Amino acid sequence: MRFGLVLLVAAAGSLGAVPLDGAMAQEGDAPSPYESSVEPTGGGPVIADVEIAPRDSKPYIGNDIYNTTGVDQTITKNAKRGQTKRFITDVNSDGASGPVWFLGNGSGRNSCFRVRYEFGTTNLTQRIVRGGRGHLDTSLPPGSSKLAIEVKVRNCALSGFSHDATLDLGPSDGIPFDRVVARVNVV
């Protein structure tokens, strides 16, 4: 069974909901319906599963594969300096609807690679790199859980180097998780 994802993120000490339409709830706003469910619903545990594709029109890999290393869940693209490569992820639950956490590795300020996590035109990089909580929810339409990972190769990158941008997802207890890897090799 597949579910959509709603990200709940800690920003400046307050909790906001990002129903992946780009709208961020601010402290003091009316409670979001996505924040109300803390326990899994629909029976059984939340089984977070994240998949990755080289582009939206290509098949995803990683369905029903759960690991913390990205084995069999890694897409590799080659890029020249100055190029940006885009990957598409799909986040879902193979179990019940319920709370999850997520984390991405991003890139350092002085890195020769720049990583961005986006939903549509909304940049979620800081929210994902800092880690956060989400809720896998059956009420969201199919395809609403697609996040893009973009890796830009800066001019300081040397041929032969590579960068792995990751997206980790797991149940809200933060113990087991699933990882996809967007790898870019500099040519």
Question: Domain extents for the chain?
Answer: 4-186
pLDDT per position as a tens digit, 71-123: 999 999 999 999 999 999 988 777 777 777 778 887 766 689 999 998 878 88
Q: What is the mean pLDDT of the chain?
A: 73
Please give the average per-residue pLDDT across 60-71, as a whole number. Answer: 91
d(CA 26, CA 165): 29
Which CATH homologous superfamily contains domain 4-186?
A: Immunoglobulins (2.60.40.10)
pLDDT of res. 11: 30
Query: Tokens in use for 136?
Result: 């896998």
Please give the average per-residue pLDDT across 52-76, as a whole number. Answer: 91
Cα distances (angstroms) measured from residue 75 to each of 55, 84, 110, 128, 165: 10, 15, 24, 20, 10
pLDDT per position as a tens digit, 7-17: 443 332 222 33
pLDDT per position as a tens digit, 28-43: 333 332 232 345 566 6
Cα distances (angstroms) measured from residue 52 to each of 84, 106, 131, 138, 149: 17, 16, 19, 20, 10
d(CA 52, CA 91): 9
Higher pLDDT, 186 or 141: 186
Find the DSSP H helices in the chain. 125-129
Query: Which pTM was predicted?
Result: 0.75
